Chains A and B, each alone.
Chain A
Amino acid sequence: MSAMKTTNVEVRLPSRMGFEKVAMSTAAAVAKLMGFRDDRVEDLKTAVAEACINAIEHGNRLNEKLSVGVVLSAGEDSLEVKVIDDGTGMKMHPTKPDIDRKMHGEEDARGMGMFLIQALVDEAEWVAGTDGKSSYVRLVIRLDKEQG
């Protein structure tokens, strides 16, 4: 088994809306250093922003005494991002928004974050913390061997 070299970058955000952009910019910088194409960097930025918004709003319930941890692990051919909060974990599963139901008021206009995360990255999983806190979402995007 070949040894995998992984480089970690960690960011800690206050639970205040808007600070997701700090994680978004950091993730974009790491992804660019790794050689991801611009369109994949944009996908990652939206996925990381939405994961942080969920952590701030739903996980930490906008409690500014709590922080959101963002751990970026850059491997040889993939970037893993864990967004960690002090909530009990997401109870919902990502579902594709139904624009017709939204337009007719049968579905909340909001609630697209998990769908966007899952649709824009190669892997996404939501993990509830075993102690009822420290839940996280784990995202992975992979470098395309073809991209230059």
Chain B
Amino acid sequence: MQSETKSHVDQLTSPAGHPVTVLRFEGDIASTSKDAVLGTYQALSKTTTRLILLDFSKVDYINSSGIALVIQLLIEASNSDQKVYAYGLSAHFTKVFTMVGITKYAGLFPTQSEALAAL
């Protein structure tokens, strides 16, 4: 019943010249999304990946289990000295991420270009 979460990785360069790894998600982010969220993140090189940008622009539904997966990603990234940012959240999920405190550990941006410009 829950729609499968699709994910893929893009490598971009910020206007400041920093390599940025973009994790793009599509579908629901829920308890069934562990492979798409954590699995995709864990497949990245811990040594060469420093800046990570999460793309939620094609995500319609995120529940508390999905938010927990994002927090687990942030924990692992923090332990590897990686910085995580996100963009493309709806106004509602921007509010929810702010309410649970995620914004303290992951900067949120409305668009990819605004996120890249800040990195």
What is A's interface to B at a CB cutoff of 8 Å? 16-21, 39, 42-43, 46, 49-50, 53, 97-100, 102-103, 105, 108-113, 115-116, 119
Contact = CB atoms under 8 A, between A and B. Distances in A.
Interface in B99-118: 99-102, 104-105
Given A16-B1, A98-B101, A119-B99, A21 B71 contact: no
B1 A99 contact: no
A17 B100 contact: no
Contact of A17 (B2, B69, B78, B105): B2
Contact of A18 (B1, B96, B104): B1
A53 B100 contact: no
B99 A116 contact: yes
Interface in B75-93: 75, 78, 90-92
Nearest to A117: B64
Interface of B: 1-2, 30-32, 61, 63-65, 67-69, 71-72, 74-75, 78, 90-92, 96, 99-102, 104-105
A46 B64 CA distance: 9
Instruction: Name A's interface SS.
Output: helix
Contact of A112 (B30, B64, B78): B64
Contacts of A119: 99
9 contacts: A17-B32, A18-B2, A97-B101, A100-B101, A103-B78, A109-B72, A111-B64, A112-B64, A119-B99
A43 B91 CA distance: 11
B100 A112 contact: yes
Contacts of A102: 71, 75, 101
B21 to A, nearest CB: 21
Contact of A109 (B1, B30, B32, B75): B75
